[in-house]
Structure 1
Amino acid sequence: MTYFNKNMPSGVFKWRGANKWLLMLLLISSNQLIAKDINLATAINLMLKENPSLKIFELRKRSLDGAQYTAGLNPEIEMGLEAENFLGSNPYTAFDQSELTVSVSSVIELGGKKDARKNFASTKYGLLDAQRKINSLDLISELTDSFIDALATQERIKLAEESVRLSEDIYESVKRKAKAGAISDVEVKRSFASLKQAQLTLKGEQSKLERQSVNLSLYWSEKQPQFSHLSGELFDFGVVKEIGQLHQNLEKSILIQALTMNQRLAESTLAVVQAESKADVNWSLGVRRIEESNDAALTAGFSIPLFKRKRNKGDLMEVEAEIDSSRAEQQIALLELYGQVNEFYSLRQAAIEKFNVLENEIIPALTHALELTKEAYLDGRYGYLEYSAARADLIQSKKSLIDTAQSILNYGVQLERITAEPIYNDTAQTQGGDS
């Protein structure tokens, strides 16, 4: 694009400061126009960067960093001061007979307690990562469903505009016949009411899209949408993998991985409890000052708690039960996922069959029927009710086509949420669904 020409008259365009700002504004405006369309991939990227619920996991990771640091610390060393034989009755009224002991003490951990604690903290990182992935996957699924719903509303707006045009056509035809005295004013009023109803439907769909756009932008923390149009193909469904392939992916599902991490966390807890069952050695070492003889001597001691394993038996039983429970939960969850995959896969296939019948048989037949009914109405062979019913049937079938396409895509989103992997074959993408 050429913004100026050196051969232009001097009064037409001069390259000066004010015009530089004008050019910048034009470029900015151009970029804003480009940004008015948004596709699903852009929406997901914005959400992953800006959604506050995902930032919580970074804070939780920082908390785990602190727990990991603490788990790697050795037992603390304590310093003690002990005084004996002072401020009593004769001959202990002063400090002449006192004994002062300065000592240090600590614990020698046995049974690999430190390693068990560190392993427990490390396992929490894996669980946190699995939870973050599940949260991200749920948000992506919710955003995708919302995007599909808004995309369907865009198509319904187009259909509502078509309905308004058809209603206007019928209204004009009715008015012409009424003016010629061929029909009564009752049909004019009916066609006028039908037109107004179509216009109300259009306004309702437009208002719905505005609400959906706001809800979409909230996913990436924008209170007002910076886009005006959604870019996407509502009627392009792709080809889904065979159901056997989807079943194979279930054991790798992030949902199962999270349950596996719960089991590993319980196993790490068991290792900590088992390590705690090993008694530690408490030791102390000090120097004692004896004032009466003006002498000093070393002191040393150690102690071991008795029956430590017996006292931890209840904790061991509790954690072992948690491990068995985690294994059972994995098996139950896997069966539930199999059932969900079967259900959504079957619903999607049935919806695709319905879509194909609507698109290839019902809508073409109703379109032809509307044309024939219009001709018959203008010739006086059909009345207004037949003409209006033919229009309504066609519009309703096209609306059903949009609703069915929306359901097909929503079922695909649920399948991807369950398997946590792409469900579509990279090759063999067909327009209008599975073949």
Structure 2
Amino acid sequence: MKRYVVWGLLWLMGAGCTADREQPLATLVDRALAHAERQSLVLARKYTDREGRLPRTWEKGEDVSSDSRWWCSGFFPGTLWYLYENSRHDEVLEYARMYTARVEREKFTTDNHDVGFMLYCSFGNGLRLTGDSTYREVLLTGARSLATRFRPEVGVIRSWDHSREKWQYPVIIDNMMNLELLMWAAANSGDTTLRRIACSHADKTMEHHFRPDYSSWHVVSYDTLSGCPHVKQTHQGYSDGSAWSRGQTWGLYGYTAMYRWTGDDRYLQQARHIARFLLNHPNMPGDGVPYWDFDVPATPSTPRDASAAAVMASALLELSGFTQGAEAQGYRDFAIRQIRTLASPEYTAEEGENGGFILKHSTGAYPFASEVDVPLTYADYYYVEALVRLKRMLQS
């Protein structure tokens, strides 16, 4: 791919301080990755002696951690793997292995759908970069554990087991992100059942999760007898009919990845439709960092969600490689706008600050007053992934 950067256009599109807008993109990416590595090493060193713990966020001046059971446990080791891919520094590799090992027991998890987040981001990147055969076993075992949550009569993977008084068989849009683990496992084991499960889930989610404008419900619960939806609502969004920002980006990323794995044009078209919804939304801020929900009344104090911007930027960069011409350029340009914004002082923490996390201003679950305007480990993961993807594109 030829270099596609036009500096004048990028200056007009850029966000953050003037210096960031004028900085050549390749330089910005290199500096952002170097800063991300320094920050992540702050976190890695801090948690070295906290056996079994992984960073989650930093709130009110205090570390908030989790064990491997928390759905975010795979993101910090995954961030370290991407940073090692970029720098090949031995210290980063050592920590990547250490924190990845802390997640291994989740290969036996069958009581939630987040096994893909936990294992594919950590062990998946580790296997890709090292070829360690023990990582392969973890991923295959984890995929089979995830597959136990699929019921053929419903056709989708169950997300949650709680709140049975209102949901019979709840599926959240986030679950699209866990299908990569199944697709990888099918391709690397010959177990075609895993691929059928992933495709069935993607197909039924496409049928029932999306509205005519290609915005997505957060939660769809299915009747276990008919296999049809009986409830469509939100859990983390502004209202049942609203477009919860991170949920929209989960869908964009998930269908882009499913196209990569299958070559099925239906998944590509779905990703393109979602991308158009996001890029053309009247409530998308000019800097490309969404408010926590697209339908929330926007004021200067309305929280943004840097994690949604990071997921979206990474997905758009990949989607640009599956499209052509002005459409592909538009996806790249918008992703670059988001990356420039996230790399600016407004969103990137000073070295050693922010508890060691890279990005500021993410929103976890606003309706529950949980993790509002804080750093989040998955925001850092998808931001670093986007930087690595962009660097590859610039070098090709």
TM-score of the superposed pair, with normalisation by structure 1? 0.17
- Bigger Cα Rg: 1
Larger helix proportion of the pair: 1
TM-score of the superposed pair, with normalisation by structure 2? 0.18
Name the structure, 1 or 2, with higher relative contact order (CA <8 Å, separation 6+).
1
